[in-house]
Amino acid sequence: MPNKPKYQTTSGSMDNRALHVTRNNDNVANITVGLMDIDNAIKYYFDNVIKLHIEEDGAQIPVPVIMGSPERWKSVQKDGFYRDKNGVLLCPLVMFRRTSMNKKRTITRNLDANNPNIYQSFERKYTSRNNYDRFSILTNTRPQREFYNVVVPDYMQINYECIIWTNYVEQMNKIQEAINYAESSYWGEPNKFNFYAVISEFSNNTEVTDGTERIIKSNFELSIHGYIVANSIQNEINQYNKRNFSFSKVMFNTDVSETITTGDEYQQPTTSSGGSFNSGAPNNLNAKLIYLQSRKSVTVTGASAITVPNVVTFTNQHFLPAPSGFPTTSASNFSFFINGQYITQDAIISFIESSNNCILTVDTSILGYELIANDYVTAIGKFA
């Protein structure tokens, strides 16, 4: 048996069970933004946008940009330069590594990180539930729109330490000019995540390696103003209100064929209070048509209407009496919703008229949860 839906979170806030939509057949990936996405955005921008290069002997030589893994960075700190696995000195070269990150608390994300309640929605344009067909036109179907919700992220400042190595000062100048021109802009791959990049200053020094080789070295700090959507927070959203739908409506015209017999022309149904129902109807056929087309929605909430754990009172409501030849109006003539979630008939114990009220009793063992005073209970059907 599946887990029962929660109606209250650990932080005490109420959870709308109508938003508990299954994602078993959903092929839309969860949206997350991690530190690796920011690292990859920097690498992409260096390689494909800035395109660092130096000129040597009339030819343009691309400058490689690599991530500073712990092993690479240790080698750089020890020797002052970087060699590949064959021991060859790599120059020119740009290496960067992430050093720290700080949360930008002036930009808030949500009120409670354990229960994120601020999210942004985007619409999926074409789905199997919103396809175009001729039947939709004939039945006046209103398309159902599908939405996906993404929690508002943490806004962060991620700091990187970067080192440039070249053989000549002129080469260093070209690289610094290109990087400095690209700062104060958004770095990242087009149509994907982009992050604002800021560079504070460049420091220059000259190093002499073993022998007579001279290397020009420059350090600079790169600050990325980005955002993070962690998997742990997004999973909470995914469980219940990651996906939701707009209301859908289908309207059908009702055609009724009736043979009127003698003595049946002026039979009028009466209400529970003794009054005549639809007194202007010329015959019983008209009354039957009105009864078939009648459908009224009533919603109640609060402690005065909901008796915990399973009784709901619709105050001052009456059943619409069935015309002659129709079954007596009962619970089968109504549809019930709790917080917008449809309740199946097998979860309804009874729905009766009592003391000028209509009283609904539900089976909590089938429903999977108990009612609370803050629930919204809707009955749609043949109310008078």
pLDDT of residue 69: 79
Q: Are residues 245 and 335 in the same domain?
A: no
Query: Is 225 buried (19+), middle (13-18) or exposed (0-12) by CB count in 10 A?
Result: middle
Q: Are residues 32 and 162 in the same domain?
A: yes
- pLDDT, greater one: 29 or 363: 363
In a domain, 265, yes or no: no
pLDDT of residue 273: 45
In a domain, 263, yes or no: no
Q: Rounded distance, CA 315 to CA 330, Å?
A: 17
- pLDDT, greater one: 251 or 225: 225
Q: Are residues 347 and 239 in the same domain?
A: no
Nearest to 39 by CA among 165, 193, 153: 193
In a domain, 271, yes or no: no
Angle at 37 between CA 127 and CA 217, to 5 degrees: 155
Q: Are residues 245 and 298 in the same domain?
A: no
Find the mean pLDDT for residues 314-342.
89
Q: Are residues 50 and 168 in the same domain?
A: yes
43 near 67, Cβ under 8 Å? yes
Q: What distances in angstroms separate CA 85 from CA 82, 164, 361, one per listed residue?
A: 10, 19, 76
Q: Are residues 229 and 344 in the same domain?
A: no
93 near 64, Cβ under 8 Å? yes
In a domain, 208, yes or no: yes
CATH number at residue 201: 3.30.2000
The predicted-structure confidence for 76-128, as pLDDT tens digits, reads as follows 777 667 777 776 778 888 999 899 999 887 776 555 556 555 666 667 666 66
Of 234, 250, 266, at which residue does a domain stop?
A: 250
In a domain, 180, yes or no: yes
Residue 62, both tokens: 């691309």
Find the mean pLDDT for residues 167-183.
91
Range of the domain at 375: 294-381
Does the bond joining 92 to the residue before it have cis omega, within 30 degrees of 0?
Answer: yes
187 near 116, Cβ under 8 Å? no
In a domain, 276, yes or no: no
Of 214, 235, 250, at which residue does a domain stop?
A: 250
Q: Are residues 74 and 150 in the same domain?
A: yes
Q: Are residues 208 and 81 in the same domain?
A: yes
In a domain, 267, yes or no: no
Of 217, 250, 283, at which residue does a domain stop?
A: 250
pLDDT of residue 138: 64
Q: In the chain, how many domains are there?
A: 2
